[in-house]
Amino acid sequence: MPSIAPSTIAARLADVRARIAEAARRSGRPASAVRLIAVSKTHPASAVAEAYAAGQREFGENRVQEALEKMPASPPDVIWHLIGHLQSNKAKLVPGAFRVVHTVDSIKLAQTLDRHAQAAGASVEVLLQANLTGEATKSGVADAAALAPLLAAVLACPALKATGLMTIPDPAYDERRTRQVFARMNELLERLRTACAPGPAFCELSLGMSHDFEWAVEEGATLVRVGTAIFGARA
C-alpha cells in the first residue's frame, strides 16, 4: 500500500528532515552538513509559527515585501533567506531583514546591495545564482565564466559576505540531467575557491527543492529550499 503523507506541518517537517539525513548518509556526510530552508512563500505567518514550534529556524521567501509583512509576527530569532530574484530597487529593504540572499546575479546588484547594507550598518551573506540551463524565465548568471568576476566584485564589497552558489534546474529535467546540473555546481564551487581564494566561508551550495532535494543532498548541497513538502500546496 502507498504511504500516507504526513498531515501536519510538524509531521511533514520531521519527514523532510529524515529524508535529508538519509540522503546525507548515502553521500557519506552527517545530516548536520545540510541546512534546511523552509520556504514559506504565500503561506501565512501562522504556518511559520507552526514550523518554528517544531524546531525550524531558517525560512525562505521569494518576495521582499511579502516577507517583511510576516517578520513582525514571527519570532525574533528566525533567520530569513531571500531565495527569489532581487530587484535593485528593493535592495534597500534587505539589510537588517534578511541574513542571506541566494540570488545575486550581477555586479550592479551586488554593489547596490552593498551600498544599502553599509548605510544600514548591516552585513549580508550572499550566494551567486547561476542559470546553467539557460531558461529565459529564470534569473542567474548564464555563462559560468562570468561567475569569477562576479565573485571578485562581491569580495570587494565590505558589507557583503560571499558564501557560495545557488541554482534551480529546469523542473522538466529527469533525475540524470538534474544531478548533472547539481554536480556541475559542485565543480564550479571548487573551481572558484581555487581561482578566487574567497576564504573558508565560501562553501555553501544552495540546491534542491521539494521534488529533488534528496538528489541535491547526494550531489553535495549544503542548503536545500523546501516549501511544498513542508507547508503543502500553495494557493
DSSP string computed for 53-98: HTT--EEEES-HHHHHHHGGGS-TTPEEEE-SPPPGGGGGGSTTT-
Asked if residue 89 belongs to a domain, the reply is yes
Residue 86 CB partners (closer than 8 Å, separation 6+) = 64, 94, 101, 103, 104, 109, 113
Asked if residue 46 belongs to a domain, the reply is yes
Q: How many other C-beta atoms lie within 10 A of the C-beta of residue 162?
A: 25
pLDDT tens-digit map of 30-55: 999 999 999 999 999 999 999 999 99
How does residue 6 score in pLDDT terms, banded at 50, 70 and 90? low
Q: How far is it, in rounded angstroms, from Cα 98 to Cα 63?
A: 11
Is residue 126 pLDDT above 80, yes or no? yes
Q: What is the pLDDT of residue 186?
A: 97
Amino acid, res. 178? T
Q: What is the pLDDT of residue 136?
A: 73
Torsion of CA 83, 111, 79, 73, to 10 degrees: -90
How does residue 2 score in pLDDT terms, banded at 50, 70 and 90? very low
Q: What is the pLDDT of residue 1?
A: 37
Q: How far is it, in rounded angstroms, from Cα 154 to Cα 150?
A: 6
pLDDT tens-digit map of 92-112: 999 999 999 999 999 999 999
Asked if residue 4 belongs to a domain, the reply is no
The cell numbers describing 11, all together, are 509531521
Residue 143 CB partners (closer than 8 Å, separation 6+) = none
Asked if residue 125 belongs to a domain, the reply is yes
Indicate the number of domains in the chain. Answer: 1
Residue ranges making up the domain that contains 147: 9-231
Q: What is the pLDDT of residue 102?
A: 98
Supply the CATH number for residue 76's domain: 3.20.20.10
The cell numbers describing 123, all together, are 552585513
Percent of the chain with pLDDT over 90: 91
Give the chain's end-to-end CA distance (angstroms, integer). 29
Burial class (CB in 10 A: 0-12, 13-18, 19+), 31: middle
pLDDT tens-digit map of 179-227: 999 999 999 999 999 999 899 999 999 999 999 999 999 999 999 999 9
Asked if residue 207 belongs to a domain, the reply is yes
Q: What does 88-142 look like in DSSP terms, one character per residue?
A: GGGGGGSTTT-SEEEEE--HHHHHHHHHHHHHHT--EEEEEEE-TT--TTS-SBS
CB 219 within 8 A of CB 183: yes
| DSSP H helical ranges for 105-235 | 107-120, 147-155, 175-196, 213-218, 228-231
pTM for the full predicted model:
0.94
Asked if residue 90 belongs to a domain, the reply is yes
Q: What is the pLDDT of residue 227?
A: 97
Is residue 234 pLDDT above 90, yes or no? no
Asked if residue 141 belongs to a domain, the reply is yes
Residues 49-67 have a mean pLDDT of: 97
Is residue 178 pLDDT above 90, yes or no? yes
Is residue 3 pLDDT above 60, yes or no? no
Asked if residue 1 belongs to a domain, the reply is no
Tell me what the pLDDT averaged over the chain comes to. Answer: 95
Is residue 4 pLDDT above 70, yes or no? no
